[in-house]
Structure 1
Amino acid sequence: MDRTDDGRTGQPGLRAALLVAVLAAALGLGGCGGPAPPEVPMEMPSIVASPPEDGPEPADPDAPGAWERVASVEPAGRLFVVAPEGAPAGGIVLVHGAWGLNRHARDLARELAAAGFAVAAPDLFDGLELTTRLAHADALAAVVPERAEALLAAAADRLAAIEEIDGSPLGMVSLSGGAPWAFRFAESSGRIVALVVDSAVLGEGVVPSRAVTFRTLLVVGEADRSLDRARLEAIAQAFAAVDAPFEVARIPGAGTDLFDPRAFGYSEVARPLALERAVRFLRGNLAGARGE
């Protein structure tokens, strides 16, 4: 039941506008001078299935996890939900980045589940997965903040309803461009005790506006040039100014996004190191919140 219209997004023409933006950028129509080659080979955004109408629907036939309908928002949205084999060590809300809730993001959710967590990832792009960087800015800008917050709340509610979690505080993992939504939800909801972000986006105005109780871990590649010592110190000082717990983990051998193989400087060796550091941070803080 694939859809190519924008009936579910509440934003008429979003997908059509993204297609136009991709073509214009690739052909060099947005500025003066001759056409410039795109950063990556020209590809079109992928339109994927609508929210399931009834029960959960498998997301990928070769892997665990399913799409679940979110009827509490209008139009209806969806979550990707995956559970560990045994009792969960806690619940994690995974916030996708500028590519959308694609296979790479879903596989990260599965890795977190394999580490013992129940994971719920809201689809903030309402079924749109991008296959080119050229449309990232348009897709991120098109997300309605109120809808994003409602979908994040639905993910938290889904996890809180699991018997072993039973309303306990949750963890959150954010990929690249998802950091602003993740941080604001953690700050406003009071339901998150540990937040992991993997991007310099955190420093672009996304810092605490007041004292917060959740702890933040910024996991970055050691070779990420966008985060020099001065910038990291500025971010740390912004957190310290409002007594917000903050720490940095620098992963050797990695550049930018640590969990997406299409990112510049991605390292298959560094990825498990970054994941291990994130899991240790989440597990310790969730256990502490439960008094263990």
Structure 2
Amino acid sequence: MSASTIGPADIEAAAARIAGHVRRTPVIEASAGVVLKLELLQHAGSFKPRGAFNTVLSQPSRPERLVAASGGNHGLAVAHVGHALGIPTDIFVPDIASPVKVAAIRGRGATVHQGGANFAAAFEASAELAAAPGVLAIHAYDGHPTVAGQGTLAWELEDQEPDLDLVVVAVGGGGLLGGIAGWYAARVPVVAVEPSACPAFHDALAAGQPVPAAVGGVAADSLGASQVGEWGFATAVAAGVTSVLVPDEAIVAARHELWASVRLATEPAGAAAYAAVRSGAIDVSRRRVGVVVCGGNASPADL
């Protein structure tokens, strides 16, 4: 395993480290052959606490302050970690961040700094504080402990559903994708799903490396990375991950169906992987498919 990829040993170590800090989220049958991993029931409403806890707990000494830039879910996760561990936390979010997520970040006691058009702007704004002594800056998706921590979702999923033929997951910056790909390590095919308006991983595959990508559409606050991360990309490529794009209309329809059929109140990003399945973008016939419902931090009012 090269220095730029994540493997099962990294993920098993992360699972031991964060045990007791994260929930083992359930799996339900959505339809014949399709199971949903309900990571929207994780602390802070998404998979992100896995990587955030692993990053903090793997440090050689306790940080004095945590800093993160985020479209919303990562910031909420870091705020949750800071609150749980008693560490002051500052979160930088762009103007497009969901008001629901911003309110939840503040509700966990973090200081919120809001401004800028996108995640990249928020990340730039966080740089000065992140460089201060005693501060641990936790990247939203690009770092060894972050990606290894996210991979604990797949470690759980394989124990819950050992006979999957395919795993489908939405992609923003690639941290969750890298973690899942790193665990399965090509033993089970993994398909990455992105909105057509946020094709960071798709564009990186075409270019052979992470490249700047467009950011827009209904899931931009969660999946709107302007460039996929190095760790997630390298690990996904090594595992042979393939890419599918879905239009915003399919994501909206999938979100409504998840509410109507199984009463899951997801955010748009949380419905993206299921959108690829229900729209036929991925052929799931005669296969047992695991679909990650990665987040639920949105107002249910528009369901």
User: Taking CA–CA contacts closer than 8 Å with sequence separation of 6 or more, which of the two structures ends up with the larger relative contact order?
Assistant: 2
Q: Is the TM-score greater than 0.5?
A: no
When the two structures are superposed, what TM-score results if normalisation uses the length of structure 2?
0.36
Higher fraction of helix: 2
